[in-house]
Structure 1
Amino acid sequence: MRVLQTEDLTAYRQYLTQNREHLRPWEPERTESFFSDQECIARISLMHQHTEAGTAIPFSLFMGRDMIGVCNFSNIVHGVFQACHLGYAISAAHQGKGLMREAVEAGIHYMFEKQNLHRIMANYRPENLRSAALLDSLGFEREGFAKRYLKINGVWCDHVLTAKVRDDE
C-alpha cells in the first residue's frame, strides 16, 4: 500500500483499463480521456499535492508490480473534527480473497494511529452488498441514508452513510 509515483503510470493505466467494466457501476462516468497517459499523470500529480497538503492519502494496492486496488482517505479535516472519508476498490481478479479487508484495516489503523483522526466515514450504495459486509465487519456503524447522494455512472444514486469512531478515546 503506497501513494502512486509517476513511474507507476503503466500499472495504474492497466488497473483502470482492465477494471473499467467491473468498476463502472460504482464510479462516476468516465470519458475516454480519463484513461489517457496525460490524465493519469495529472491525477498522480494531484494525489501528491493532496498528500503533501494533508487533505488526502490516496493509497494504491500492489501485488508485486501490479496495481490491484485503491484505498483512499480523502477530505481529511483536522482541528475539532479530526475526520475523513474512505473510498476503496479492488480489481475483479482479486475480489473475494480478503485483500480489500486487509488493506482497509491497515489504512484505518494508519489514519487513527499515525494521522490521529477520530472518525472515518464511508458511504456505499444499498445494492453493494460486498461493501456493506466489509464495512460492517470492520466496525462501521450505519448513521443514515442519503437520497441521490452521488452521481455514479451518470445517475444520481442513494447511499448508506456509515462511520467508524476511534475506540480508545
Structure 2
Amino acid sequence: MAAPLLQTPRTRIRLADDADAPKLLRYRLENQAHLSSWEPLRESEYYTLAHCAKTIAEGRVHASQDRGYPLIAFDLDEQHILATFTFANLVRGAFQACHLGYGVAARMQGQGLMQEILRPGIDWAFDELDLHRVMANYLPRNERSAKLLTQLGFEREGYAKRYLQIAGVWEDHILTARVRSEV
C-alpha cells in the first residue's frame, strides 16, 4: 500500500522520513506541556533526536507492513509540524478496521485544523486502505475531541472504564467509530 501524500489548504500530510526527525523533536518539545494530559507518561528519551528518528523508522516499517500509518500534517513548506494522526492497529480480514489517534500543536488549537486534515485522511483510509471501520476513543473530559469526532461522523458506541493509562492514571474513555458508508 502506498503511503498518502495529501494536501489541504494549510497542510501537506505524509509519512515522516529521516530528514523530519529534527522537526518531530521540535514539535514534541514545543507541545510537551500541551499534550501531556492526553498521552501516556513519556520517558525523557522520548524528547531526544534519536528517539524521534527511531519513531519515524518504526512508523515507516508499520506502513510497509500495512499495520499502521503515522501521518504528519506539515505546514505547506514542510518546515513545521502542525498536527499528527495515526491509523493504528490495522486488522484485516472480516474486520477491516483500525484505531485513530491524533494530536495538534498548541498554537493551532481551536482553528479547525484537525477537521481539515482528518476529513481527507479518513477518506483515504476508507478508499485506499479499504477499511470498513475507523475507531476513535477519547477521555470524557475532552470536549474538543467529542465535538470533533461528532463533526466527522463518528458515533458513540460505548464507555470503557479504566481503558488506557494517560498521564500515569488509568482513565475511562468514550468509544466511538465511523463506519464507511455503502454507496
TM bracket, shorter-chain basis: over 0.9
Distance 2:16 2:40 in 1: 21
1:157 equivalenced with 2:171 (yes/no)? yes
List, as ranges, runs of 4+ consecutive aligned residues in structure 1 with deviation greater than 3 Å: none
Partner residue of 1:11?
A: 23
Deviation track 1:84-142 (CA, whole Å, cap 9, x = no partner) reads 00001100001111111011111110000111100000000000000000000111000
Partner residue of 1:93?
A: 107
Partner residue of 1:46?
A: 58
Distance 2:53 2:105 in 1: 20
Q: Which runs of 5+ in 2 are unaligned?
A: 1-12
1:104 equivalenced with 2:104 (yes/no)? no
Partner residue of 1:68?
A: 82
Q: Counterpart amino acid of 2:104? A: I
SS in 1 for 2:94: coil
Q: Counterpart amino acid of 1:124? A: Y
SS in 2 for 1:42: helix
Report the Cα offset of residue 32 of structure 1.
1.1
SS in 2 for 1:22: helix
TM-score normalized by the length of structure 1: 0.98
Q: Counterpart amino acid of 1:149? A: Y
Flag the structure with higher helix content.
1
SS in 1 for 2:37: helix
Q: Which runs of 5+ in 1 are unaligned?
A: none
Distance 1:44 1:107 in 2: 19
Partner residue of 1:137?
A: 151
Report the Cα offset of residue 31 of structure 1.
1.4
Q: Counterpart amino acid of 1:2? A: R
The percentage of aligned residue pairs carrying the same residue is 44
Distance 1:61 1:163 in 2: 22
SS in 2 for 1:26: coil
Report the Cα offset of residue 78 of structure 1.
1.2
SS in 2 for 1:161: strand
SS in 2 for 1:93: helix
1:122 equivalenced with 2:136 (yes/no)? yes
How many residues of Structure 1 are paired with residues of Structure 2 in the alignment?
169
Distance 1:68 1:10 in 2: 14
Computed over aligned residues only, the root mean square deviation of the Cα atoms, in angstroms, reads 0.8
SS in 2 for 1:149: strand
